[in-house]
């Protein structure tokens, strides 16, 4: 979410009156956090980074989860939705909010180039009325009158894909929803399944990488980490359905991961909305040494044009490109420099 969206909302302090604010954010302006704190409003986000950035809020006023149970528990009269970049996920959230009969007012805000300009049109089948009440700095704020909906079940919104005779469920908003992305497929085609040891699937999404390895080698100890609650729940459900034991952890990169692993495997994201963002990959290279055993390995898949080998060589003694296929490359790094 752009900083401008927070600034737009700060022009309407009356909207922050014991309100439930749902969504993800960029770096949060201190003024916005202070305003939320003073208003007694609650934050509900499925993004672990956003949750951690709300440092001014006490634990009772910020919630990390897939939106549903908290809405029913908190019983808010008013909701502000930071419109997600994934339109399907946004409309699912609107449908969920419309199923909560106690809500009297719903507002949605976004940058115009992230869907803000057309929120009213996007909600045409779920709203009886939509009114753009403010716009500034290329952001739009809408007030919506929603048509009541039946209770929503996120599982009915899930889609799945097949891999190695298993179906992997993905909830809305998970990377490559309902599909196995090309990069991950290429990685799985070249990734050997270790016979034993501890494996971390970082940025796990549906969990397909780690769970595939665990199916081939049941002795592996598996940890699945992601920043997104929808991804974590997808991975957790897939592990349960396959009868696989795995630790599922909310983590901003390696920041919230404890212990050392024999293998860290990742398809690092390098986009934040429409912008290129290499912070995840850079942090992964910098911090992996502290989370690998002496002879541990870091395996990643990356777009061929990304110069990850140059970064890897700064922190690892060995950096090998093991395969290049369909616009992607598989890199194995080991023997971290001291």
Q: What is the pLDDT of residues 225-253, one digit of tens each?
A: 999 999 999 999 999 999 999 999 999 99
Q: What mean pLDDT do residues 2-20 have?
A: 91
Candidates 84, 47, 81, 85; CA nearest to 63 is 47
Q: What mean pLDDT do residues 178-193 have?
A: 94
Higher pLDDT, 272 or 22: 22
Arithmetic mean of pLDDT over the chain:
93
Cβ atoms of 111 and 200 closer than 8 Å? no
Residue 322: pLDDT over 90: yes
pLDDT > 70 in the chain, percent: 96
Q: Any bridge partners for residue 254, and if so which?
A: none
Residue 106: pLDDT over 70: yes
Q: Is 275 helix (H, G, I), strand (E, B) or coil?
A: strand
Q: What mean pLDDT do residues 176-183 have?
A: 91
DSSP 163: E
Q: Is 132 helix (H, G, I), strand (E, B) or coil?
A: strand
Residue 140: pLDDT over 80: yes
Name the token pair of 8.
């737009």
Distance (Å, whole) CA 224 – CA 235: 8
Residue 272 has what pLDDT?
54
pLDDT in tens, 203-213: 999 999 999 99
H or E segment to which residue 317 belongs: strand 316-325
Cβ atoms of 281 and 255 closer than 8 Å? no
Distance (Å, whole) CA 52 – CA 155: 27
pLDDT in tens, 264-309: 999 988 645 555 567 888 999 999 999 999 999 999 999 999 889 9
- Which residues have C-beta within 8 Å of that of residue 137, sequence separation ≥ 6? 4, 7, 8
- Res. 93 pLDDT band, cuts 50 70 90: very high
In the chain, the domains with their CATH numbers are 3-152 (3.40.50.150), 158-336 (3.40.50.150)
Q: Any bridge partners for residue 144, and if so which?
A: 106, 130
Q: How far, in whole angstroms, is CA 127 from its chain's centroid? A: 27
Residue 338: pLDDT over 60: no
Distance (Å, whole) CA 19 – CA 38: 12
pLDDT in tens, 119-138: 999 999 999 999 999 999 99
Residue 310: pLDDT over 70: yes
Residue 291 has what pLDDT?
96
Location of structure tokens 């002496």: 294
Residue 274 has what pLDDT?
52
Residue 26 has what pLDDT?
67
């Amino acid at each position: 979410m752009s900083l401008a969206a927070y600034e737009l909302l700060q022009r309407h302090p009356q909207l922050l009156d014991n309100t439930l604010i749902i969504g993800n954010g960029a770096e949060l302006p201190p003024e916005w956090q202070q305003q939320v704190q003073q208003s007694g409003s609650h934050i509900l986000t499925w993004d672990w980074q956003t949750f951690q950035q709300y440092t001014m809020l006490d634990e009772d006023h910020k919630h990390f989860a897939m939106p549903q149970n908290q809405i029913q528990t908190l019983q808010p009269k008013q909701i502000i939705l930071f419109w997600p970049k994934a339109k399907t996920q946004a409309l699912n959230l609107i449908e969920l909010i419309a199923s909560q009969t106690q809500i009297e007012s719903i507002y949605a805000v976004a940058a115009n180039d992230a869907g803000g300009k057309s929120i009213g049109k996007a909600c045409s089948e779920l709203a009886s009325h939509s009114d753009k009440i403010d716009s500034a700095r290329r952001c739009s704020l809408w007030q919506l009158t929603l048509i009541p909906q039946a209770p929503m079940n996120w599982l009915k919104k899930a889609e799945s894909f097949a891999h190695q005779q298993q179906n992997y469920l993905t909830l809305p908003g998970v990377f490559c929803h309902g599909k196995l992305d090309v990069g991950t497929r290429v990685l799985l085609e070249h990734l050997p399944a270790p016979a034993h040891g501890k494996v971390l699937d970082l940025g796990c999404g549906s969990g397909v990488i780690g769970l595939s390895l665990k199916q081939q080698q049941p002795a592996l100890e598996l940890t699945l980490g992601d920043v997104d609650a929808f991804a974590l729940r997808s991975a957790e459900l897939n592990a349960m359905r396959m009868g696989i034991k795995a630790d599922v952890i909310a983590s901003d990169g390696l920041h919230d991961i404890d212990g050392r692993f024999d293998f860290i495997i990742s398809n690092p994201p390098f986009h934040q909305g429409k912008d290129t963002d290499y912070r995840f990959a850079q942090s992964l290279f910098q911090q992996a040494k502290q989370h690998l055993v002496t002879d541990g390995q870091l395996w990643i898949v990356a777009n061929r044009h990304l110069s990850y080998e140059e970064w890897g060589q700064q922190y690892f003694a060995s950096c090998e490109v093991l395969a290049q296929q369909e616009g992607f490359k598989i890199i194995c790094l080991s023997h971290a420099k001291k």
